[in-house]
Amino acid sequence: MSGGEDGWARLVKLLDEREIVLRTTGERLNYLAPTGAMDEEVTGLVRAHRERLLTTLTGAGAALAAAPAGAQQRRMHGSHAHSADPAVWNITQRITLRGPLEPERLTGALTALTERHESLRTRFLDTDLGVLQQVLANTPVELPVEDLRGLTPAGRAAALAEATDAEIRRPFDLAAPPLLRTRLLRPAEREWVLLLTVHHIAIDGWSLATVLDDLGALYRTGGPLPEEPGRMTDHACWERTVVNRAAITAAADHWAGVLRGAELSVDLPTDRPRPEQRSGHGETLGFRIPAAVAEAVGRYSAARSTTASAVLVAALARLFGSLSGAPQILLLLSNANRTRAADEKVVGLITSSMPILVPTGGDGGFAGLVDHAAEAIASAIDHTVTPFGLLLEPLRERGVHLPSSFPQILFAVQSTPPIVLDLPGLTAEVEDLPGPSARADCALNVTPDADGYAGLVEYDTDLFDRSTMLSWLDALVAGLAEQLEVPLG
């Protein structure tokens, strides 16, 4: 029989085996399927279980729209569930505003923002049909002003620090949106602090720029914006049609050819023995690559017909090679992954990481390292459709020995649109607030600015002391300057 639990189990199995993607808009059930997949058996089972499919997809009618979660969202959902501290996935911005802010106008703009970008009001549930993203109806944002003007200067500073720390450390429930939280504090007559926190499953660095750009536009206009943004549900459905089993197999075969036989563990000198399992505890340090060195990076990369990323990756490989004695280094390089025009304004987690395997030395000197890095990056970009995170088990099955502490080294060179908030009559200072956590041995992020590169490193405090990390950052900048023949003052 097509009905009952046996029929439902058969339908779920066939949907998975045949890679049929279901989604809903209201009460309408749609599907994307390979040619021939929706045969008479599947069609009959869908018809018999239509109401249960709609109930599962929409959460018994709570969702306005539903679709499978994207590949990166599925991995993030699992990471959140298994994290010792799920707040590690919070993205918190402290925005200091100076001038005649209108709080009610800002509140309206924030409500319009969550209406515009579905990911901010989406919940994620693990169901018989896999991890789903369910878009809920918009609700007005509440933004009461927390007035600190009556406190002493020390009291205001303490209240701001306490509020900031609370936002950083408070985890989200992925089944209970919105996945955006806001607080507005007023430490002075013409000074305001907006704390904006979003879970990483709903946003990445690229879409953070879109969120702040749209927030400014909505505050200025007071009404809907003319252009419709892309939707994460659309991206996820498209992705499921291209990141299928055949694509995963092909990608795993490719990366196995690149990585098999290589020593992928980096034996960095630690201040304490490596624990069996990461605690997630970490700290963050800022550093700077001076303007003169950054300009030299640009000249050098242009001369070798490559990118600044290749030069910086080569410098990292050289540093970690000198620290560990390893002949090659595997790091994960962040990639915005916005190859389709339809995804340019999508707010959601699309960014992925590419494995880059580069030597740490050799007869070609630093120029040879840069060339190797450039080739590795170009090859990785050609194979980014399938997220590397989906390939870990297939690679192990193919004999690739990824370290138990994988990933060890993360690196990002920001190429996203600028993270700014433009409100009329106000100045806005946007500051990213990383939490006391670490996702890897160390994760480095550099962003070009007028003074060179602003850098940030997040490191595992189970392994490293602050003094160790400072010495490594100094060595990175000094080594880069030496190779590019730039004197440091």
Give CA–CA dist 45/7, Å, rounded. Answer: 7
Phi-psi region of 280 (alpha: psi -120 to 50; beta: other; left: phi over 0): left
Q: What is the pLDDT of residue 404?
A: 83
- The DSSP annotation for 168-237 comes to HHPPP-TTS---EEEEEEEEETTEEEEEEEEEGGG--HHHHHHHHHHHHHHHHHSS--SSPPP-HHHHHH
Spell out a b/e string for 430-448, using b for 16 or more CB atoms within 10 Å of the CB, else e. beebbbbbbbbbbbbbbbb
Backbone angles phi, psi at 198, to 5 degrees: -130, 145
Angle at 450 between CA 448 and CA 452, to 5 degrees: 50
Q: What is the 3-state secondary structure of 5-26?
A: HHHHHHHHHHHHHCCCEEEEEC
> Mean pLDDT throughout 299-314?
96
pLDDT tens digit string along 354-363? 999 999 988 7
**Whole-angstrom distance, CA of residue 222 vs CA of residue 110:** 11
With a cut of 90, say whether residue 450 has pLDDT above it.
no
Burial of 232 (0-12, 13-18, 19+ CB in 10 A): buried
Which residue from 80, 252, 259 is spatially nearest to 172, judged by alpha carbons?
A: 80
Each residue of 316-345: pLDDT tens digit? 999 999 999 999 999 999 998 888 899 999
| Strand-pair partners of 286 | 456
Beta-carbon count within 10 A of 96 CB = 17
Query: Could you give the strand order of the β-sheet that contains 90-98, starting from the edge strand earlier in sequence?
Result: 145-147, 180-188, 191-199, 90-98, 427-432
Instruction: Supply the pLDDT for residue 337.
Output: 86
DSSP 380-425: HHTT-SS-GGGGHHHHHHTT----TT---EEEEE--SPP-----TT
More confident residue, 82 or 374: 374
> Please, are residues 480 and 293 in contact by the beta-carbon 8 Å criterion?
yes
Residue 2 has pLDDT above 80, yes or no: no
Residue 488: CB atoms within 10 Å: 12
Give how far Cα 75 sits from Cα of 240, 384, 400, Å: 14, 16, 20
Mean pLDDT of 385-401: 93
Closest by CA position to 384, among listed 234, 243, 207, 258 = 243
The pLDDT-based confidence of 287 (bands split at 50, 70, 90) is: very high
pLDDT for the residue numbered 226 = 86
Summary mean pLDDT of the chain: 94
1 has a pLDDT exceeding 70: no
Q: What percent of the chain has pLDDT over 70?
A: 100
In the structure, what pLDDT confidence band is assigned to residue 395 with cuts at 50, 70 and 90? very high
Q: Inform me whether the pLDDT recorded for 417 exceeds 90.
A: no
pLDDT digits (tens, 9 = 90+) for 183-227: 999 999 999 999 999 999 999 989 999 999 999 999 999 888 988
CA distance 150 to 159: 12
> For 376-392, how does the pLDDT look when each residue is reduced to its tens digit (9 = 90+)?
999 999 998 899 989 99
What pLDDT sits at residue 438? Answer: 86
> Which range in 5-14, 261-270, 400-409 is most confidently predicted, on average pLDDT?
5-14
pLDDT at 7: 95
